Amino acid sequence: MFLNRSEGFALALPAALFTCLVFLVPVGILLSAAFQAEPGVWSLQGYVDFFSQPLNQSVFLRTLKLGVLVAGTSAVIGYAAAFCIVNLPASSRGRIFGLVVLPLMISPVARTYAWIVILGRTGIVNDVIVGLGLSETPIRLLFTETAVFIGLLQLFLPLMIISLVSAMENIPQDVVPAARVLGASWFQVFFRVILPLTKEGLVIGGTLVFTGALTAYITPAILGGSKVLMLETLLYQKVNVSNDFVSASVIAMILIVMCFSANLVLKRIASVRS
């Protein structure tokens, strides 16, 4: 396409320089603090200190747990929704897909505040619970892990559905009917036909959802508050309350490692299956 390599290089140079100057360099400087117990003294003491605190351990495990749960639940719901969408007539498919994408066009702040109204003691969920006689009085749903889980799931499920719809659209139309005709149960169809053929979409969707759940700030802050701290809300506290940039940098580095690890693990799982 290019006359020579230098032409391609010249075209990519502005974007590469911009990314380096405004992202990689400042992030690198910031993260370098995670390896300096004191200015100029390199060590891993920040990580030792961080993981020696029981609160930090529980925040780390909670973040990991919610990330895995949100990604896993998104995959289950996402496969069902994506399978349904790709089998719709073309005219309906566009409309339904638009509805899936619609929440992504609304601010996460607005979406999360809506959950406060829904999950509150005077909200719809409690109205139903009390109406059905499941509880005599409204129950507390806000500021719990459940509330954060629901908020994150709603926030990132569309990303999983989009990834899986794209992957499923590439499956040859005849393979599922062929498998059924040959006697495969729906369970076998999913695990031996659909899943292997859509693993790339699952890896992309899983990475996006897991990374998003890990790094989301607004939803855990609003729906979890200080009772359900996650790494991202703890990071904010370290910077804005404790003025502890070393711990904040350690948390940022842990989040980056977790995100990259998730992608590697998902790719590994996908490759093992094939």
Partner 1 sequence: MAKIEANAADPVIDMAVISSHDALSLARKNLLQAIDTSRLQSFDKLYTAAQDPIGDNMAVGYTFYASSIVYRSDLVSIESWNDLLGEKLADNVALPNITGTQGPLTLMMLNKAEGGKPGEFSGTISAIGKHADDIVTFYSRSSELAQLMNQEEVIAAPVGRFAWSRFKSSPLPFAWAEPKEGQAGGMNVMIMTANNGNEDLAYKLMDYWLSTEVQTRIAEALIDSPANTEVKVSDEVAENLTYGAELINSLNILDPAVIIANRDVWVEQWNNEVIR
Q: Report whether 228 contacts 168 (CB < 8 A).
A: no
Q: Closer to partner 1 at the Cβ: 47 or 83?
A: 47
H/E segment holding residue 41: strand 41-42
Q: Closer to partner 1 at the Cβ: 159 or 230?
A: 230
Q: Does 135 bind partner 1 (CB under 8 A)?
A: no
Q: Does 103 bind partner 1 (CB under 8 A)?
A: no
For the CB of residue 160, give the shortest distance to partner 1 in the complex, in Å. Answer: 30
Q: Closer to partner 1 at the Cβ: 15 or 241?
A: 241
Question: What Å distances lie between residue 172 and 82, 86, 177, 189, CA to CA?
Answer: 15, 12, 10, 14
Q: Which listed residue (34, 142, 168, 270) binds partner 1 by CB under 8 A?
A: 142
Residue type, 31: L
Collapsed DSSP state (helix, strand, coil) of residue 135 = coil
For the CB of residue 215, give the shortest distance to partner 1 in the complex, in Å. Answer: 21
Count of residues in contact with partner 1, rule CB under 8 A: 22
DSSP per position, 174-206 = THHHHHHHTT--HHHHIIIIIHHHTHHHHHHHH
Q: Closer to partner 1 at the Cβ: 29 or 264?
A: 29
Angle at 30 between CA 27 and CA 34, to 5 degrees: 120
Q: Which of residues 33-72 bind partner 1 (CB under 8 A)?
A: 53-55, 58
Q: Closer to partner 1 at the Cβ: 103 or 225?
A: 225
Collapsed DSSP state (helix, strand, coil) of residue 157 = helix
Binding site for partner 1 (CB under 8 A): 53-55, 58, 116-117, 120-122, 140, 142-143, 225-227, 229, 237, 239-243
